Structure 1
Amino acid sequence: MIEKLKTILTHLENLNNHVGGEIISKEELKEQHENLHDFKKLIESLDKLLEESKTVDYNNPDSIDNNLMNIHKLMTSFEWHFSEIDDLTVTLFKNYKDSLGK
């Protein structure tokens, strides 16, 4: 998944550069590339959590609550990362055509 996100970011960067780099700042693109390091850590955390979930005590409500809360936290973190890249995509979508006219 990380490679696919890198590919998307590279594509967005190429499109942005094609119109003079005026739509998305280099800093925003750099930040998203750096965020992929955190995304990798999230995947590792998810793998660990899924392994731990195999041994969760179904009769221990506190254990189940903790497990579900950790899943929720990871899922929202994944959503945030996708949302950040999608925001850049939408920005290009809304402005690319007009930028070609310059």
Structure 2
Amino acid sequence: MGTNKLVLWLAREGTYIREAKNARESVNLIVEAIYKLLAYDKEIRILIEPKPNEPMDHDYIPTIGLAIALAYRTIDEKRVGGLIETAHCILAGLDPSDEMA
């Protein structure tokens, strides 16, 4: 398709009931998957699109801040970033302009 960017919308990476899953283990699995993607293609850039509460009630990466924090846990944080969807910021009760600053 002529692009090196891959958008991850982690829509099902969360839970309806906090106690149902181990959040730390779940986030570690996301980091492990990103490691594999980065190792597979040295040119790929991964953009995480956070969405706070849909379709899961409690998403593991609900904000751009957490997406950036997740990037720093990978093997190459310069190739992992966030994709800001303004409506998703509003769903989280955040101001999109602050998220883009």
- Scaled to the shorter chain, the TM-score interval is under 0.3
Task: Report 1 or 2 for greater relative contact order, CA contacts < 8 Å, sequence distance ≥ 6.
Answer: 1
Larger Rg: 1
| Greater strand fraction, Structure 1 or Structure 2 | 2
Tell me the TM-score normalized by structure 2. Answer: 0.28
| Greater helix fraction, Structure 1 or Structure 2 | 1
